[in-house]
Amino acid sequence: MIEAARQEFQANGYAATCMSDVAQRAGVSTKTMYRLIPTKAELFKSVVSDRIRHFMLEVDADAVDALPLTEALEHMLIAYGTLTLNEETIAMNAWYTASSTASGDCGDLFRGGGPADERSHGRLVAPSMRTWADQAGGCVRSGRNVARMMIMEPLRAVMLGQQAIPDPEEIAARAKNCARLFLDGCRLEHPSEAS
């Protein structure tokens, strides 16, 4: 059902997607659909959460934790940038923005499971970075700040039609710059913790 919903949202946008169409695409009855997922907003939230789960599976915490600090942060930022700065996720942001502005139906979905969710940003900080990041302003806040630095400007520019979706090389270059800027700034503030 989640994959069927993703396809319907992608084809029609949030406002024009009907629960009955999702049920038909998924091969279940509409009654079953409503029993399992009672509203379109909940269905959309499930699609967003599924994207986050896929992202988390791509980030091998043990492998990242074994890397030097700068490389670990670059690796996680590349994964996050790849999740967020692609056609499907940008379209989801546009559906969310349009739908919540027009009807309020989506509410604060992205605050409770999407790319802007603090839990997702907190996971950007690998275990070896947590103690140091706590001293740099808190694990979640630090993760949120560096994640926003990574995606907000290019996401805004793409959504406004000012630039194309970044390719993998552009995402990697931005991750490298963001990691360096973020870590250099924290080293100045906390020189003894940033070795």
CATH 1.10.357.10 domain residues, the chain: 49-193
- How far is it, in rounded angstroms, from Cα 18 to Cα 176? 42
pLDDT tens digits for 92-118? 777 766 665 545 555 454 444 444 444
The CATH-assigned architecture of domain 1-38 is Orthogonal Bundle (1.10)
Note every long-range contact of 93-99, with CB atoms under 8 Å and residues 24 or more positions apart, other chains counting.
Answer: 93/155, 93/159, 94/13, 94/159, 95/9, 95/13, 95/14, 95/15, 95/44, 96/14, 96/44, 97/159, 98/13, 98/14, 98/15, 99/14, 99/15
CATH 1.10.10.60 domain residues, the chain: 1-38
pLDDT tens, residue order, the chain (195 aa):
999 998 998 888 888 899 999 999 999 999 999 999 999 988 988 888 887 777 777 667 777 777 887 888 888 888 888 888 888 888 777 776 666 554 555 545 444 444 444 444 444 444 444 444 544 444 445 667 788 889 889 988 998 889 999 999 999 999 999 988 888 776 655 555 444
Topology classification of domain 49-193 = Tetracycline Repressor; domain 2 (1.10.357)
